[in-house]
Chain A
């Protein structure tokens, strides 16, 4: 029996007057990969950024409803606490340019002023980099700047940085849209490995990607959650006409 890790109840979010995410109710099971797809401007990224309370950083943005993480309402918690439990990886790789590869991985500890003994730090860095399949490539250049790496490596470094904080959920906002096909494939393989320990929610423009990596898929259209089902079911027999139109490429 799978347990639910995230559950939203009548979640709405707005940019000023603009109602971007409309009344979303979704249950996300632990240790699964959930793909969130939909045409541009459908509110999928806004929804994702709402889960770790990044949405409200934008001026004029606000939200209503509940997002339960293990039964606890994220909206009632302090954003900092939420973001330690729910990590995020962005569209473009954004390692800290002033830090080395090593420091980038433990940035969540280092920059938050959490002191760790050296062997503990070494362990976290090696473990996190191993989890994102980057350890072998960078173990001899840990002191080099994070921006020294290639785009795909940088993105994996950013995933390692999020993983190092031992979150429960990882949010990915179109994580491969700025990467070349080979790096994309590497990152996609990673998702399968990562779901052993984490729950992954991935916003993607790319339907093939959703089909390849996810267990379940949510389809957003005009701010509404139109359909949410097992990925296989969704792509072989969508129930809603809009979903069908989208996956058959009638609009994008």
Chain B
């Protein structure tokens, strides 16, 4: 009896350690990537790096201002396009769970999420770049917006699913029409979840390279017009890291660090917002 009990206690302890070990194993790759990129990129970063554009091969210095501005513009446009569509679709999927359209839309969202980003890039090239006669920032935004959609839709739907029906009933019992119930009760109560979905989707596409290779294309200069090719951080990293010049490679490491910091900051901010704005049900 005694030995049996001891064996069980030991087994339980062993299990505990195994879980800790495996969890640590999950974190390790991230830690190593972080250390490596910080080491390689920190030397390149200074004020000049953030505000000037890349210099030609052979000249020292140069920065990533064009990519920073381009990333900001392209992501902003993608967000403007995807947020209304995504949130409305998420609301629809939650409100009309049993409808045929919702059933098919839900399947489409899953499939959309699984489409490789390079395929999205090619589609963007065929449908947007070719018909409008040239690479443009806006075509990149549209492709990124489509990639953001599944994340926004799913997170909106999951958030609203957690709101109790009693909340909706309370609103209807006060004589509120459908659109007011949605706008004044459902969305405000699920706001933190919806907004965190949006931010996660931004973090997700901020590092996308493949779809932009065919659409936004890249640009060595600062470009503000949406109809023109534009540089983004991942594009700059891709182009400069694969170049044979040490100067450019250093620039790419610096840009990688900036991108990484941006994505990490977005993730932390999302956590903060979810906690701060969470509606206590």
Q: Name A96's contact: one of B172, B175, B185 (CB within 8 Å).
A: B185
Q: B259 interface residue, CB < 8 Å from A?
A: no
Partner pick for A97 among B180, B184, B281, CB 8 A cutoff? B281
Whether B185 contacts A57 by the Cβ 8 Å rule is no
Quick one: closest B residue to A148, CB to CB? B280
Inter-chain CA distance A82–B166, complex, in Å, is 19
A113 CB contacts on chain B under 8 angstroms? 180
Interface residues of A in 81-135 (CB under 8 A from B): 81-84, 87-88, 90, 92, 94-98, 107-108, 111-113
Whether A111 and B98, one on each chain, are in contact in the complex, defined by CB atoms closer than 8 angstroms, is no
Is the CB of A59 closer than 8 A to any CB of chain B? Answer: yes
Which B residues lie within 8 Å of A92 (CB)?
A: 166
Provide the residues of chain B in CB contact with A242, threshold 8 Å: none
Contacting A88 at CB < 8 Å: which of B173, B177, B180?
Answer: B173
Contact, CB under 8 Å: A52 / B189: no
* Chain B residues touching A, range: 20 to 34
Q: Of B167, B170, B176, B189, which is within 8 A of A112 by CB?
A: B176
- The CA-CA distance from A54 to B171 in the complex, in Å, is 11
Considering only residues 228-281 of chain B, those with a C-beta below 8 Å from chain A are 279-281
- How close is A200's CB to chain B, nearest CB, in angstroms? 15
Cβ of B169 and Cβ of A90 under 8 Å apart?
Answer: yes
Judge whether B174 is part of the interface by a CB distance below 8 angstroms.
yes
CA distance A68 to B188 in the complex (A): 36
Residues in B with CB closer than 8 Å to A107 are 174
Of A111, A147, A158, A162, the residue contacting B280 (CB under 8 A) is: A147
Contacts of A54 in B (CB 8 A): 169, 172-173
- The minimal Cβ–Cβ distance linking A118 to chain B, given in whole angstroms, is 20
In the bound assembly, the distance between CA atoms of A113 and B174 in angstroms comes to 12
Chain A interface size range: 20 to 34
Task: Please give the distance in Å from A52's CB to the nearest CB on chain B.
Answer: 7
Summarize B's interface: helix, strand, loop or mixed.
helix
**Does A165 interact with chain B (Cβ within 8 Å)?**
yes
Residue A145 is within 8 A (CB to CB) of chain B in the complex = yes
Do residues B166 and A111 form an inter-chain contact, with CB atoms below 8 A?
no
A7 beta carbon closer than 8 Å to chain B: no
The answer on a CB contact under 8 Å between A90 and B170 is yes
CB-defined interface of B147-188 with A at 8 Å, one 1/0 digit per residue?
000000000000000001011011111111100100011001
> How far apart sit A59 and B189, CA to CA, in the bound complex (Å)?
24
The distance from the CB of B98 to the nearest CB of chain A, in whole angstroms, is 6
Indicate if the CB atoms of B180 and A111 lie closer than 8 Å: yes
Shortest CB distance B171–A (Å): 7
Chain B residues closer than 8 Å to A98, beta-carbon distance: 185, 188-189, 191, 279
A111 touches B171 (CB 8 A): yes
How far, in angstroms, from A52 to B171 measured CA to CA in the complex?
13
CA of A87 to CA of B188 in the docked complex: distance in angstroms?
A: 23
Q: How far is the CA of A108 from the CA of B185 in the complex (A)?
A: 12
Is B169 touching A83 in the complex (CB atoms < 8 A)? no
Q: Does A161 sit within 8 A of B, measured CB to CB?
A: yes
Please tell me if the beta carbons of B175 and A147 are within 8 angstroms of each other in the complex. Answer: no
Given A94-B164, A94-B166, A147-B281, is A52 in contact with B173 using a C-beta cutoff of 8 Å? yes
Contact across chains for A161 and B166 when beta carbons are under 8 A apart: no
A87–B173 touching, CB < 8 Å? yes
Known: A111-B180, A111-B184, A111-B185. A97 touches B280 (CB 8 A): yes
Query: B166 — which chain A residues lie within 8 A by C-beta?
Result: 90, 92, 94
User: Is B172's CB under 8 angstroms from A165's CB?
Assistant: no
Say yes or no: is A1 at the interface (Cβ < 8 Å to chain B). Answer: no
Contact B169 A80 (CB under 8 A): no
A sample of 20 inter-chain contacts (CB < 8 A) reads: A54-B169, A80-B177, A83-B175, A92-B166, A94-B164, A94-B166, A96-B185, A97-B189, A97-B279, A98-B185, A98-B188, A98-B191, A98-B279, A108-B176, A111-B174, A111-B184, A112-B175, A161-B170, A162-B173, A165-B174
Q: 18 new A-B pairs (CB below 8 Å) besides A54-B172, A87-B173, A90-B169? A: A54-B173, A80-B176, A80-B177, A81-B175, A82-B175, A83-B172, A83-B175, A90-B170, A94-B166, A96-B189, A97-B189, A97-B279, A98-B189, A98-B191, A111-B176, A147-B281, A161-B174, A165-B174
> Which residues of B does A touch, CB under 8 Å?
98, 164, 166-167, 169-177, 180, 184-185, 188-189, 191, 279-281
10 closest Cβ contacts across the A-B interface?
A83-B175, A88-B173, A94-B166, A84-B175, A108-B174, A111-B184, A94-B170, A98-B188, A97-B279, A80-B175
